Amino acid sequence: MSSVQLSYARRMEGMSGNVIREILKLTQQPDVISFAGGMPSPDSFPKADIQRILNDVGDELISLLQYATTEGYPPLREFIAQWVKDRGIEATADQVLMLAGSQQGIDLACKALLDPGDVVLVERPTYLTALQVIQMYQARAVAVPGDADGMDPDALQEAIETYRPKLIYLVPTFRNPSGETWSRERRQIVAEIAASAGVVIVEDDPYGMLRYSGEPVAAVKAFDSAGCVIYLGSFSKIVSPGMRLGYAIAAPELLRKLVVGKQTVDVHSNNLAQYVVNEFCRSPRFAEHLKSIRAVYGQKRDRMLQALETHFPESATWTRPDGGLFVWVTLAGHIQTSKLLERAVEQKVAFIPGTPFFCDGSGENAMRLNFSNASFEQIDTGIARLGRVIKEAGA
């Protein structure tokens, strides 16, 4: 069979697969302990509740099997509009768009707002898939310096004046990958700076309901006086990632652009999944479920932090997150975690190297560790193995 030279879109130049998915392929052996993915524990899935809801769906099943409006299942949108008030967000059901996971919201925002060559301001480090989406739309990510409290306001103001960005992308609560949480003051001032400059903020909050210590902080969206913040939430970490269900909350004009973008992709999100999530979230079992998974994940976080103290070298430092799924580790400057990963997999343990989380290619001596999807025993054993690998590398 003769080969044919195919012509691909320019947007595909330089694009590669998701590094996490590629690394997960290396860890499929059952004896590899993986801290690589950002997956919730299968033990956290409300299997019995979902089965009960499906068994009791009744006559509404017919309508759920038919096409529906792009915006989503009305009762669930109404629930979300009330639910987010705890995060300081005032919204109506008409301002809620159901998504196939909150990641779709990143894509739709970029589709609606970015032209080739545009700039998106991001945290340093930031969610690696968001960087891929920005690249896919032929835009450029520029990192804004900051600290554990969030982006530095002066640096943000300077970056806006220098680059004239279309978007600012943030994960301010239990950040992916660092696990850190922005302060209330930093959220407010960043919202004010963006509003003054007319720049849209995409606030990605897939982990906000997974708090194990500390006090809750209002969303950046709570300080959105100008209607320029798109708030993204997800049910993947608190109900099920396989249902692929998230949501966006935005001012009417912005939301309409997202709706039009979604109509060219999948028409609407899964009706049956929306029905199940709505029924579960409105039941008394939802609060019990959240309390249960927070307790277990909090214990796993503590177990990992304890194991790091025991097994990692003194030259290593790490974050101590109040919630979410990740701990961010920084090693001695001469260690390259991308090379360290090869040796780690040989020793039956895996992690995500730091570089993919930086738009400037830095972070070579950092790594992201996920604690939610490993057992307590796996955390102890895996961190001990990883500690030995790091020490053998000369840390």
Q: Under DSSP, is residue 226 helix (H, G, I), strand (E, B) or coil?
A: coil
Residue 160 domain-assigned (yes or no): yes
* pLDDT at residue 310, as a whole number: 98
**What DSSP letter does each residue of 37-67 carry, written as one string?**
S-PPPGGGS-HHHHHHHHHT-GGGHHHHTS-
Residue 4 domain-assigned (yes or no): no
Do 208 and 106 share a domain, yes or no? Answer: yes
Do 214 and 71 share a domain, yes or no? Answer: yes
Please state, in angstroms and rounded to a whole number, the distance separating the CA atoms of residues 58 and 9: 47
Do 278 and 295 share a domain, yes or no? Answer: no
* pLDDT at residue 336, as a whole number: 96
Residue 297 domain-assigned (yes or no): yes
Of 280, 266, 268, whose CA–CA distance to 235 is shortest? Answer: 280
Do 266 and 370 share a domain, yes or no? Answer: no
Domain of residue 237 covers: 67-284
Do 258 and 373 share a domain, yes or no? Answer: no
- Strand blocks (E) in the chain: 33-34, 96-99, 119-122, 140-143, 146-147, 150-151, 167-170, 200-205, 229-234, 246-249, 317-318, 326-330, 349-350, 352-353, 366-370
Do 232 and 316 share a domain, yes or no? Answer: no
Residue 3 domain-assigned (yes or no): no
Q: Which CATH number covers residue 264? A: 3.40.640.10
* pLDDT at residue 38, as a whole number: 87
164 phi and psi angles, rounded to 5 deg: 50, 60
Please state, in angstroms and rounded to a whole number, the distance separating the CA atoms of residues 178 and 174: 7
Please state, in angstroms and rounded to a whole number, the distance separating the CA atoms of residues 28 and 23: 9
Tokens representing residue 185 in the block? 């003051």
Do 277 and 291 share a domain, yes or no? Answer: no
Domain end residue (candidates: 284, 300, 329): 284
Do 142 and 176 share a domain, yes or no? Answer: yes
Residue 62 domain-assigned (yes or no): no
Residue 29 domain-assigned (yes or no): yes
Do 30 and 168 share a domain, yes or no? Answer: no
Do 187 and 307 share a domain, yes or no? Answer: no
pTM for the structure as a whole? 0.95
pLDDT < 50: residue spans in the chain: none
Domain end residue (candidates: 250, 269, 284): 284
* pLDDT at residue 9, as a whole number: 80
Residue 83 domain-assigned (yes or no): yes
14 phi and psi angles, rounded to 5 deg: 80, -5
> With pLDDT > 90 as the criterion, what percentage of the chain qualifies?
90
Looking at the structure of the chain, the number of domains it has is: 2
Residue 60 domain-assigned (yes or no): no
Do 338 and 260 share a domain, yes or no? Answer: no
Do 106 and 179 share a domain, yes or no? Answer: yes
Domain end residue (candidates: 284, 311, 333): 284
